[in-house]
Structure 1
Amino acid sequence: MRYIASQLDNKTRIVALSNSLANAKDLGEWIGATSHGLFNFPPGVRPVPLDIHIQGVDIANFEARMQAMTKPTYTAILQHSKNCKPAIVFVPTRKHARMTAVDLMTYSSADSEQKPLFLLQSPEELDPFVANIKEPMLKETIQFGVGYLHEGLSSTDQDIVKTLFETGCIQVCVMSSTMCWGVPLSAHLVVVMGTQYYDGRENAHSDYPVTDLLQMMGYASRPLVDNFGKCVILCHTPHKVYYKKFLHEAFPVESHLHHYLHDNLNAEVVVGVIQNKQDAVDYLTWTFIYRRPTQNPNYYNLLGVSHRDLSDHLSCREHNQ
């Protein structure tokens, strides 16, 4: 956009919002923000302060580790969500959503022989909602105050669970990790039960993207209701130090344009913005990737940090594309 604006002599104003960044100045200069228009806050600054607890589980096998996390999750809900405050539990897949909801239901029914621990209304008030639920397992768990959400549920079932959770009829909602971007719920406590998911393309278990994890943590925010929110992150023990560092410190953002450069350049060639190699180099000087290699040369496989090294690197990449 700034490249276009420079050619048209037409001023553009860019307004950008992001998480706390270690290199906010680089990003601000790239979008044309002045020093007066750039504000960067530490990660701890939130509308509702967040109390973060990170627990490690030292089991290498993924499924066994997920099973071992169920009891600590139940304990965390009892400990941090006293006085019937709502709790959201994030799990990797829809299968884990069902299994975790059943386990939490089992634990709560074993601890309380009378009224279910997580059910905040009388069973009679819940009956009209339960009658409309199609999923058999959900129909069972919801009567114990534990609902779950995943993409496989019908829209009716999803709406019923959201309504019961928002109105305070049930205390616990278990959600698959991919639902963190599309469900407008909030709670006093968020439990991230495992920080990995199965990636079919890599045929391996990969860590959640940082943005997803921050989004999940953001659900523990109820302005004007809570003085603070709580988040419990259960992860594999070797990753505990990493999460402690990045959750309490700002992290830098890097450009990924070099992974998709051919698509962008082809599009610009088609519309006539780039007509020769010099146009392509000029185009790249306006991108974020032009600013970052000298700051973090190893990430971009840059041999040196001089302007000559940067120009040679961009020209070589351009030629390869």
Structure 2
Amino acid sequence: MKAIVIARPGGPEVLELRDVPTPTPAAREVRVRVRACAVNRADLLQRIGAYPAPPDAPSAEIPGLEIAGEVDALGPGVTELEVGQAVYGVVSGGAYAEAIVVPARTLARIPAGLEFTNAAAVPEAFVTAYDAAVVQGGLAAGETLLVHAVGSGVGTAAVQIARAVGARVVGTARHESKLERARVLGLDHGIVPEPGPSFADRVRAVTGGGADVALDLVGGAYVPETMLALAERGRAVLVGLMAGSRGELDFGVILRRRLSLRGTVLRARPLEEKILAAQLLARNLSPLFASGELRPVVDRVLPLERAGEAHEYLASNDSYGKVVLTVG
């Protein structure tokens, strides 16, 4: 089969299209004929050697964390799925390929009306956003969610999920154009942070006291400012480190306002938790895609062999929503 392989740590030019062995599913695994996969910032980090694949990844050299395709082979003991079914899901790696082998229970069936290119833009972004905002952050109807990098894949997903649960949304982005596009999805207030960054005072002003939950995809210097933007008993969930993994935090603010800060990531979770993530996708999100209440936001679609170009585009920070690679 054809696959994109990271030949060595480096720039987009190290992504090479190669012939590699087609995998065979073992017990309780299925092989998926990949029709589309999405590009994530974790892929860019893996390419430069900063985010190695976990031990359970299908391949350490083939990047990619989310797929959409058709089941084309079953391993012994698989009863949840059948050959020919359209499925999507989050994987530990190996998505940039014509086929991938994964545990059957980590996949969900694609709802009717969602074709492969759009389906590939769903798993990582929407599961991450729902898990972080609703499961980890406890976002509820009537509350306010603050979302950083609101024009990203996870950001555009979080806006829609917040609206679906009856919450208000405040988002930040570096460009007003991304905020304008996010308003179409349901963004209530958009903020372009001042250098520093500085946004907490404006968040507290437009919300009347601060956000109840914050979804921080940026990290670094954004984290202490995010804590200042929270209301009493506010909950911040850190899911990305685009601005770095270090920052200076005033613990007094956390104590006085009784705030909480937690981190979460999907890729490094054990199999049992990845199965729960697939169940979340199937039970909580897929019905909303079927009804049209949620929709993936796809910015650009490129063929697999142009993965390097896709990486360059995502790294430019010009994208809005997801970048998807088609396979075959």
Q: TM-score of the superposition, structure 2-length normalised?
A: 0.27
Larger Rg: 1
Q: Which has the higher helix share?
A: 1
Higher RCO (C-alpha under 8 Å, 6+ residues apart): 1
Q: TM-score of the superposition, structure 1-length normalised?
A: 0.28
